[in-house]
Amino acid sequence: MVRLTYALRGPPSRESNDMKIEFRTVDIAIKLEQFTEDFLCNVNPKGKVPVLYHPTLLSHPMSESIAISDFICDRYPTLRPPEHAGTIDELIKQLHDISFYSLTYQTRPEHPEAMRLKLQELMNQPDVSPRYKDALQNKIKLNDEEKVIGLQAPSVAENIEKAKAFCEKMECLLANRPGSESMYLFGDNPTVLDAHTLPFLIRMQDVGKEFIIPDGLAKYMGTLKRQKEWEEISPNGKTIPDMSLAGLKDASLIKASVEASKTRTR
């Protein structure tokens, strides 16, 4: 979402506001780089991405997609045109009230426990520093509060309904946009709402929840997926990595580890 916001940014409000962002990949799936001491203690104690960092322009690393996108929008005004700012802010807030985790990992109930086991393993290392141990304990608490509850059936059902409600609003917005042939939500120019909506729709497609997406919104998604901005961000068009053979082995080992842990605690 943040990368697409930046890719669609348009001209800056003035030349001094132009930004050059260097993107660095954090492997949160296999290497779990978000659990390292440097990341948890110096970058984001929540152990999440994205994060925007600058040693002098920012007093501390900026996390959360909305906050980073707001930072970009302040410098690139076409991303949030004043006449549409209220609608954009309202719909982005509604979108981010949906738990992507619940809808992504619904079929992998072992995932939160696997994360907890990994965090505990790191915390039990003999040379773990006090600050790192505290950071890991906080991450375990966050994992239990957000991820364990997030995969329970009532939470998944609630988030599916939230996703449907959001998509219905977006379908209405599309139907009333100026010019039925316009590519974007508010006409010929992209906004931050386009930049956040497209990855969400593709994620629903990636995890087999196309039923959430109305026909008009599906067509909109298909059009934007073929644009160079998205193709450069995601050459395979997806929001989650394909599971390679090594990845499948890792997933199997994680599941086996969880089952073994359950057996030991019975």
Distance separating alpha carbons of residues 85 and 69, to the nearest angstrom: 13
Q: What is the pLDDT of residues 195-230, one digit of tens each?
A: 999 999 999 999 999 999 999 999 999 999 999 999
pLDDT in tens, 124-154: 999 999 999 999 999 999 999 888 888 999 9
Report the 10 Å Cβ neighbour count for 222.
11
Ramachandran bin of 110, using left for φ above 0, alpha for ψ from -120 to 50, beta for the remaining angles: alpha
Helix (H) or strand (E) holding 18: none
pTM of the model: 0.86
pLDDT of residue 181: 75
Whether the link from the prior residue into 199 is cis, omega within 30° of 0, is no
* DSSP states of 66-121: HHHHHHHHTT-GGGS-GGGHHHHHHHHHHHHTS-HHHHHSTT-TTHHHHHHHHHHH
- Given a cut of 50, whether residue 250 has pLDDT beyond it is no
